[in-house]
Amino acid sequence: MNPPLRLALGGMNRVFLHCASLLVSRDQRVDWRREWSAELWHMRRSCPPSELFSWKAEQAAAAFCLGAFQDAFCVRGIRRENREVAPSQHGSAGECLFWLAGLLALSCILACVLPGVYVESHPAHYQINPGLILLQSDLFTDSSAATITGQQFLDLKASRQRGIDGLAFYRMTKETLSPGLHAKPKWAVAHASFNLFALLGGPESFAAVSSEPSGGLPPVVLSDELWKREFNGNPKVIGNVVRVGRIAARVFGVLPRGSWRLPGRADAWLLQPNTEISRSAVGYVVAHTTRFGQAEMYDDRLHINAFVTDDPDADLWGVSFDERTRGPWTIFRFAVFLAFLALPAITSVSLGESCFSSHRPSLARNLYRWVFLSTKIVLLLSIAYFASLDLSYWNATGYSALSEYAQLASSFFICLFGMRWILLDQRERFPVCLRRVTHPAQVGQASRTFLAWNGTELMCTSGHTLLHVPGLPTSWFGTQRWMYLDTSWKFLFAGTGVG
């Protein structure tokens, strides 16, 4: 026979065996393939020399290799039968971790899919320059209220302040925007100083708008939502002239979703020179604190003496933006701290170590048990972080104190009750096999508490132990106890295939 043809047929036989081996489970595959390869080799050598390279021999070899598929199916079937007989995974440590990991994956996916959560969980999206404060009148306590008039801002800017520099002003109005897809609705427009974005930092291109453009038309920055709703997300709108109320402006750019963390929800920011600022309009003033101002700050607040001409007694407070830009991680850490503080109030933190005999699990088993407990806690904290973000910020478009409170509350409760469940679950897991004890049985009579023990007896389905939980804790039986079963009990659990 032609040697290349013989090689090709030999290769085909090996392909048959390889394909058949894919039907066999991975852990049996190497052994199975080794046996069939050896058998094929011996089969080829068994042919008489005259038939060694003949069509008949090749046909026999191919038929031999095709039989491997039937064998592979058989091995696979036996494997499946064995798996059905194998002890159930119900209540095992693996099952517990599987469900926790599943919950974590779900909350992570939601955090990536929900736009509000995605923005909130990436503080880089809304970071502003450090040392910025919001100036407010001493007479107001609401940190999100507009309290400074345009005149006050101009006076502040003209006067020399030790604690602050780099002031910017903005005020909120409702204006129409044209040409847009929808002519009627009015959008929230912030009339702001040119240097607002330069002061805030953020996107570099916006920071560049700090002086009046040479073109004459003031720049307008659109919010992501407005850009999508009024301009269908068309990137060509950048540079076009639009009319904001009565003012013609050139679209400078689109502010990414979630970037605006300052008070006042704005859909567009019209940047104007300070000479255009209405002196009677009330708005917000953002300022940068000097080194002296930062040293003077107390509890994230800075007191500023407003040496203004018309009202010498109107002092101001500078409130730090740290609260608005700190991100969810700080809140989460605080919630976890509170939950761990509150935990002893709702459950015992004991792991139920006491046992009837002197039997102690090996060091490796003890380590395994602690690793399992630690893994559960890590998974729970991760779930609490992402789930609280999902619940609190699923529809958030910017900073919201309500969302922060929601995150604090949801993180706290998930951590608190999750930790309670983890401790209860750990107490009901046998320290050796980490399976949950089952089949609770009431033992004894409650009326005889002080004569004999009564309570609940639970059993490890692997036949390792019994767990005795007292119905009424007494001085001589205060906490649950494990009773290790020796090998003489094995026959009772023979049906489970374990023990």
Interacting residue with another protein among 10, 67, 203, 327 (CB under 8 A): 67
Q: Applying CB under 8 A, does 245 fall inside the site for another protein?
A: no
Q: Which residue, 81 or 353, has its beta carbon nearer to another protein?
A: 81
Binding part of the chain for another protein, among 63-71, 216-224, 227-235, 425-433 by CB under 8 A, reads: 63-71
Q: Applying CB under 8 A, does 491 fall inside the site for another protein?
A: no
189 contact partners, CB below 8 Å, separation of at least 6: 172, 173, 174, 175, 177, 244, 245, 266, 267, 268, 269, 270
CB 204 within 8 A of CB 255: no
Q: Applying CB under 8 A, does 62 fall inside the site for another protein?
A: no
Would you call 372 exposed, middle or buried from its count of C-beta atoms within 10 A (0-12, 13-18, 19+)? Answer: middle
Structure tokens at 224: 């992501």
Q: Applying CB under 8 A, does 70 fall inside the site for another protein?
A: yes
Interacting residue with another protein among 50, 63, 83, 476 (CB under 8 A): 63
Interface residues for another protein in 433-452 (CB under 8 A)?
none
Q: Applying CB under 8 A, does 10 fall inside the site for another protein?
A: no
Q: Applying CB under 8 A, does 38 fall inside the site for another protein?
A: yes
Largest CA-CA distance found in the chain, in angstroms, rounded: 119
Structure tokens at 294: 């930062």
Q: Which residue, 75 or 396, has its beta carbon nearer to another protein?
A: 75
Cα 296 to Cα 291, 303, 324, distances in angstroms: 9, 8, 21
d(CA 495, CA 412): 44
d(CA 5, CA 37): 20
CB of 383 to another protein, least distance (A): 43
Q: Which residue, 16 or 430, has its beta carbon nearer to another protein?
A: 16
CB of 36 to another protein, least distance (A): 8
Q: Applying CB under 8 A, does 68 fall inside the site for another protein?
A: yes
Q: Which residue, 69 or 453, has its beta carbon nearer to another protein?
A: 69
CB of 416 to another protein, least distance (A): 51
Which residue is associated with the tokens 């129409």?
176
DSSP H or E segment with residue 208: none
Q: Applying CB under 8 A, does 73 fall inside the site for another protein?
A: yes
CB of 22 to another protein, least distance (A): 17
CB 191 within 8 A of CB 270: yes
CB 431 within 8 A of CB 369: yes
Q: Applying CB under 8 A, does 64 fall inside the site for another protein?
A: yes
CB of 76 to another protein, least distance (A): 10
Q: Applying CB under 8 A, does 35 fall inside the site for another protein?
A: yes
* Closest C-alpha to 382, from 411, 405, 420: 411
CB of 494 to another protein, least distance (A): 14
Q: Which residue, 61 or 189, has its beta carbon nearer to another protein?
A: 61
How many residues of this chain interact with another protein, rule: CB under 8 A? 23
DSSP H or E segment with residue 214: none
CB of 350 to another protein, least distance (A): 47
Long-range contacts of 174-181, Cβ-Cβ distance < 8 Å, separation of 24 or more: 175/244, 175/245, 176/243, 176/244, 176/245, 177/226, 177/230, 177/242, 177/243, 177/244, 177/268, 178/242, 178/243, 179/242, 179/243, 180/230, 180/231, 180/242, 181/229, 181/230, 181/231, 181/232
Q: Which residue, 70 or 240, has its beta carbon nearer to another protein?
A: 70
CB 196 within 8 A of CB 271: yes
Structure tokens at 11: 């290769």
Q: Applying CB under 8 A, does 210 fall inside the site for another protein?
A: no
CB of 61 to another protein, least distance (A): 10
Q: Which residue, 43 or 110, has its beta carbon nearer to another protein?
A: 43
Instruction: Compute the half-sphere exposure of residue 347: CA atoms within 13 Å on the CB side of its CA.
Output: 19
Binding part of the chain for another protein, among 71-79, 96-104, 256-264, 463-471 by CB under 8 A, reads: 71-79
Q: Applying CB under 8 A, does 26 fall inside the site for another protein?
A: no
d(CA 118, CA 121): 5
Binding part of the chain for another protein, among 31-39, 165-173, 239-247, 394-402 by CB under 8 A, reads: 31-39
Q: Applying CB under 8 A, does 54 fall inside the site for another protein?
A: no
429 contact partners, CB below 8 Å, separation of at least 6: 93, 369, 372, 435, 436, 437
Q: Applying CB under 8 A, does 69 fall inside the site for another protein?
A: yes
Q: Applying CB under 8 A, does 341 fall inside the site for another protein?
A: no
Interface residues for another protein in 75-94 (CB under 8 A)?
75, 78
Rg (CA), the chain: 37
Q: Which residue, 43 or 373, has its beta carbon nearer to another protein?
A: 43
Q: Applying CB under 8 A, does 453 fall inside the site for another protein?
A: no
Write the single-letter amino acid at 313. D
Q: Applying CB under 8 A, does 71 fall inside the site for another protein?
A: yes
Binding part of the chain for another protein, among 33-41, 104-112, 140-148, 374-382 by CB under 8 A, reads: 33-41
CB of 493 to another protein, least distance (A): 20
d(CA 210, CA 456): 75
Structure tokens at 353: 């170590």
Q: Encode 318-371 in three state secondary structure.
A: EEECHHHHCCHHHHHHHHHHHHHHHHHHHCCCCCCCCECCCCCCCHHHHHHHHH
Residues that bind another protein (CB under 8 A): 34-35, 37-39, 41-43, 45-46, 63-71, 73-75, 78
